[in-house]
Amino acid sequence: MSQRTKIVAEIWGYRGWNVTSITYERSDGTPITPVGGFVSADVRVVIHVERRWTSRCAHCGAITGKVHERLGARRWRDLPWAGRVAEIEYAPVRVACTRCRTTGVERLAWADPYQRQTQRLQQHLALQAASMPVTHVAALNGLDWGTVHRAEHAALERWDKTRTPRRCATSGSTRSTWAAATSSRTTSSRS
Ligand SMILES: [Zn+2]
């Protein structure tokens, strides 16, 4: 790892993953080479990463080196870097877990299974959506309404799992008040 990618890996902040390279491209995917160490603000930053340690099963968390299938490179949108759209690129593997007998995509430090945004971007979008309409959050982040809504939902589900369920005396519901309130709010803001 070069000094440059080491610094980026430290800022990127996921233990157990190396940054192999950083590339820049226009929104249409055209590669851009920095001139004099400078790229314009509308350029997308792509952080290419690789796993340092043995892969884990996303389903049960078991460490498993058994590769069931190698998948092509995928991208996850991250929080903007200095105002630039940032994406993580990684080619994951499908692991054959001997503990839970599944063959799912390996556990990733930055995103939940089936998600195309990092957890921290989803959290950021959910917090924004708690104080403004989803359509405004979408416009602010250059995303469509459905993407923001799904990201918000994923962040709230993750947040809910960290809480001890409290049984509501009247309805018997164990949903958290924030999730319930946000769910009703987003539903009403959609109409
Ligand atoms: Zn497993």
**15: CA distance to ligand 1 center in Å?**
21
Half-sphere exposure of 52 (CA within 13 A, CB side): 10
The residue-averaged pLDDT of 48-63 equals 94
List, as ranges, residues with CB under 5 A of the ion ligand 1: 57, 59-60, 62, 97, 99-100
Ligand 1 centre and the CA of 138: distance in Å?
35
- Give the pLDDT confidence of 89-118 residue by residue, as tens digits: 999 999 999 999 999 999 999 999 999 999
> Rg of the chain over CA atoms, in angstroms?
19
Quote the CA–CA distance of 157 and 173 in Å, as a whole number. Answer: 15
Distance, CA 100 to ligand 1 centroid (Å)? 4
Whole-number pLDDT of residue 104: 93
Ligand 1 mean position, distance from CA 75 (Å) = 23
Tell me if 123 sits within 8 A of 111, measured CB to CB.
no
% of the chain at pLDDT higher than 70: 85
Give the distance (Å) from ligand 1 centre to CA of residue 168: 34
Q: Which pairing describes strands 74-81 and 84-90: parallel, antiparallel, or unpaired?
A: antiparallel
Label residue 190 by pLDDT band (50, 70, 90). very low
To the nearest whole number, what is the mean pLDDT of the chain?
Answer: 87
Helix (H) or strand (E) holding 81, with range, is strand 74-81
CA of 191 to the centre of ligand 1 (A): 41
* Phi-psi map region of 66: left, alpha, beta (phi>0 left; psi -120 to 50 alpha): beta
Predicted local confidence at residue 35, as pLDDT: 86
40 versus 136: the higher-pLDDT residue is 136
pLDDT at 79 over 90: yes
b/e string for 129-156 if b means 16 or more Cβ within 10 A?
Answer: beeebbeebbeebebebebbbbbbbbbb
Which tens digit of pLDDT belongs to each residue from 115-156? Answer: 999 999 999 999 999 999 999 999 999 999 999 999 999 999
According to the model, what pLDDT value does residue 172 have?
A: 52
Is the CB of residue 86 less than 8 Å from the CB of residue 131?
Answer: no
Measure 153 CA to ligand 1 centroid, in angstroms. 25
